[in-house]
Amino acid sequence: MSDNSHSLSERSHPYLPGLWLAAGFLGLASLALLLRPVGVTPDTITEKAAMERWDRLQKLKSDQHKDVTSYGWVDKDKGIARIPVEKAVEIIIPKLQAQNPKPAYAITMIAPSAITAAAYPLYPEVPVDAGAMTAAMAADGAAAATNKPAPAAPVPAAKTAPAAAKPATPEKK
């Protein structure tokens, strides 16, 4: 064997690499603590962000209050201005009170037919009279209702189509 052995069991200090590793880790951790700004903690970061949000909210509320309580231009080029809400109410309410109320859209009513009225009663717990149903159908011009079932239509036998009649489908690759 050679005198310059690299095996851990043959070294005079087998724990030396581990000690260097631990010392390096502790050095980096202490360096990180020293470089961290003093007084900055997760609590102070959250408090600072909350205060910034609170200040922005208060500014937004004051701007909105100013907009609804003062005169000003929304778009001067287009001639659009704003007036206080209280003044707008004073102007609009007398005009609306002087007018007769009108629907916002055309109101159309579809009159239910006699069949609809007989088949769907207002009170479903009350049974529908079969005679009333027949009379309603007759009033609508339908054929008289019969209790005979409709004849079953014959089912055609399945025919095979010629190969030329099949549509061409592209082949999948």
- How many domains are contained in the chain? 1
Establish if 123 belongs to a structural domain: no
Establish if 58 belongs to a structural domain: yes
**Tens digits of residue pLDDT in 101-141:** 777 776 666 555 655 655 555 666 666 677 777 787 777 76
Residue 37 has, within 13 A of its CA and on its CB side, a CA count of 6
Establish if 163 belongs to a structural domain: no
Domain of 94 in residue numbering reads as 42-98
Establish if 121 belongs to a structural domain: no
Residue 54 has, within 13 A of its CA and on its CB side, a CA count of 6
Establish if 15 belongs to a structural domain: no
Amino acid 51 reads M
pTM exceeding the 0.95 threshold for the entire prediction: no
Q: What is the DSSP string of 23-34?
A: HHHHHHHHHHHH
Say yes or no to pLDDT of 65 above 90: yes
**Tens digits of residue pLDDT in 32-48:** 888 777 777 777 778 88
Could you give the CA distance from residue 135 to residue 157 in angstroms, rounded to a whole number? 41
Establish if 47 belongs to a structural domain: yes
Q: pLDDT band at residue 173, thresholds of 50, 70 and 90?
A: low
Could you give the CA distance from residue 85 to residue 93 in angstroms, rounded to a whole number? 12
